[in-house]
Copies of this chain bind each other. A is one copy, B any other.
Amino acid sequence: MKGRILEAARRIFGEYGFHGTTTRMIAQEVGIDISTLYYHWGEKADLYEAVVLDIYEDLRRKLSEVERAVQGKPLARRMEIALDTMTEYLFEHPEISNLILFRYFAKTRHASPLDFRVPELMGNIAYSMGLVADKKHMPVDARMKMLAVMNTIHSFVSGQNFFMPLLDIDRETYLPQVKETLKFLLIPPFLDLAGRIKVKKAGEKKAGEIGAGNDRS
C-alpha cells in the first residue's frame, strides 16, 4: 500500500506540482481514504520528499545503465546513445522531468538532505562523457555543462504539451525532433572540447581515455 501511494503521488505531484496537488487527489487516485495516506506517509511535505528521493534514485539508476552502455565507444557515439536513451526514458516517465524542474523554483524547500545526490549524478555522467578525469572532484564549469545538458532535455519533456501544439506536430514527430535538436546542439561543443583537451594532453603525455579518436561527421 505504501508503495502504491508513492507511485500515485509521483504521478500527481509530477503533474500538478506541490501546491497544485491535494492529499485528497492522491488518495482518490489510489482509491483509499486520506487518513490511510497520512497513516503511511505523515504530512504532505514528507510524502513529497519521498517522491523526489524516489525519482532521483530512478534517474541515478538509469544514468548508471547509460554509463555502462557507452563504455568503449567513441565520444560522438557515446553522446548520441546517452542523449537518445535519456530522452526516451524521460518521455516514458515525464513526471521525473516535471518534478526536477518544479524543484528549481520550489519555495517549499527546507534544504533537503537529498541534494547531495545531484553532484553525484552529474559526476558520473560527466566522467562517462570524458569531460573530467576525476569522478569525485568536478570543476564548476564541467558541472555547469552537465546541468545545461540535463536541463535542456527536461525542458523538452516537461514542455511537450506546450510545445507540440505550438509547433503543430504530434507526439510521433515531436520525439525524434527533440532527439535531433539535442544532438545538433549538444554534440559539437563537446567534440570541440575533447579535441582541445586531446591536443593539449598529447603535448604533455599520452592521449588516452578521452575523445577516443574520431572527428565530426
Residue ranges of A at the interface with B (Cβ–Cβ < 8 Å): 15-20, 98, 101-107, 111, 115, 118-119, 140-141, 143-145, 147-149, 151-152, 154-156, 158-159, 161-163, 165-167, 169, 173, 177-178, 180-182, 184-189, 192-193, 216
Contacts and interface: CB of A to CB of B under 8 A. Distances in A.
Chain A, interface SS category: helix
Contacts of A15: 105, 107
Contact of A148 (B107, B166, B181): B181
Given A15-B107, A185-B186, A189-B188, A151 B140 contact: no
Given A144-B178, A145-B184, A185-B185, A20 B107 contact: yes
B19 A166 contact: no
B98 A105 contact: yes
Contacts of A154: 155
Contacts of A188: 188-189, 192
Contacts of A186: 185, 189
Given A98-B105, A151-B152, A188-B192, 13 more contacts: A17-B17, A17-B105, A19-B20, A103-B162, A140-B167, A141-B181, A147-B155, A147-B159, A148-B156, A151-B151, A151-B159, A185-B186, A185-B189
Contacts of A151: 151-152, 155-156, 159
A175 to B, nearest CB: 11
B152 A148 contact: yes
Contact of A145 (B145, B181, B187): B181
Nearest to A102: B105
16 contacts: A17-B17, A19-B19, A19-B20, A104-B155, A104-B158, A140-B169, A141-B181, A141-B184, A143-B166, A144-B178, A144-B180, A148-B152, A148-B181, A151-B155, A151-B159, A152-B152
A107 B143 contact: no
Given A101-B101, A151-B155, A167-B144, A184 B189 contact: yes
